[in-house]
Amino acid sequence: MRIPKAQVEAMLAHARSGYPNEVCGLMLGGGAEAARHVDDVVGVVNRETEAPRVRYQIAPEDQIRIQREARDRGLEIVGYYHSHPDHPARPSETDRRIAAEGLSDGVIYVVIGVQGGEEATPTAWTFRDATQSFEPEPLDVD
């Protein structure tokens, strides 16, 4: 996945600012799966109320609004990002279960590990319905 450095920095800043809770957002772009690109990222409020330190929830109304705005700009939702405060930058079992419950085949997920609210490390993953698992996705930062 190709992504501009400014967009990666925006996700990392969002992850740091939300610490110690998880933050979340959507990635907008286009392209076929082998040549997917991100042109913009949109952070949203984590609507998880019971355990925001270890889970996130994107409100349906936020997703619909962002999807409409993206279409108006000729973009589509190509994936999602969220942070893992003081945990590794890889999908959790909860992430896998939630992705498996939806139509997620080929969707990109960026997970940002945030240590102590300072150091933030992004990793990218593609979910596969056939195996019900995530595969590592290269991050090509422009």
CA pair distance 56, 54, nearest whole angstrom: 7
Catalytic residue among 22, 61, 69, 137: 22
The answer to whether residue 135 is catalytic is no
CA pair distance 135, 64, nearest whole angstrom: 27
DSSP string across 4-49: -HHHHHHHHHHHHHHTTS--EEEEEEE--GGG-EEEEEEEE-----
What Rg, from alpha-carbon coordinates, does the chain have?
14
Give catalytic residue positions: 22
